[in-house]
């Protein structure tokens, strides 16, 4: 199938598919006229990549996940370890975002929000407080 059909089936833009090919994550065959020819297996790998990326895995992590996927002798513990590392990373990001939210909400609570020029939000951003 051509890249347009593969794109529709995988839910990825053609540009992303070309990028994945460029970095070796997917390797479609080439027809006699030089066009990419994607197989069902290629589309499955593209869906795998799309889902992995949507769960926050980096390109390098996706590469490792694909190697585990291709290895029928893999230990599921290796896959679980990667997933748990990603969960820990997400938890760290959530904590960081919660801290940012709390700081900004606290600054907003202390701002009168009226016609006066003094503003604790601006003071904090300027390094005062």
Domain ranges of the chain: 1-74, 77-129
Which pLDDT does position 116 carry in this prediction?
85
In this structure, CATH architecture of domain 1-74 = Orthogonal Bundle (1.10)
Nearest to 45 by CA among 23, 27, 18: 27
Q: pTM of this prediction? A: 0.80
User: Is 70 exceeded by the pLDDT of residue 19?
Assistant: yes
User: Is 60 exceeded by the pLDDT of residue 61?
Assistant: yes
User: Is 90 exceeded by the pLDDT of residue 25?
Assistant: yes
């Amino acid at each position: 199938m051509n890249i347009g059909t593969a794109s529709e089936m995988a839910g990825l833009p053609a540009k992303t598919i070309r990028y994945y090919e460029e970095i070796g994550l997917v390797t479609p065959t080439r027809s006699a006229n030089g066009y990419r020819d994607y197989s069902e297996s290629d589309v499955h790998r593209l869906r795998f990549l799309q889902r992995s990326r949507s769960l926050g895995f980096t390109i390098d992590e996706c590469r490792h996940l694909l190697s585990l996927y291709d290895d029928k002798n893999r230990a599921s513990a290796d896959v679980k370890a990667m997933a748990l590392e990603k969960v820990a990373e997400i938890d760290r990001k959530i904590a960081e975002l919660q801290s940012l939210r709390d700081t900004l909400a606290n600054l907003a609570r202390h701002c009168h929000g009226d016609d006066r020029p003094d503003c604790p939000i601006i003071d904090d951003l300027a390094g005062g407080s």
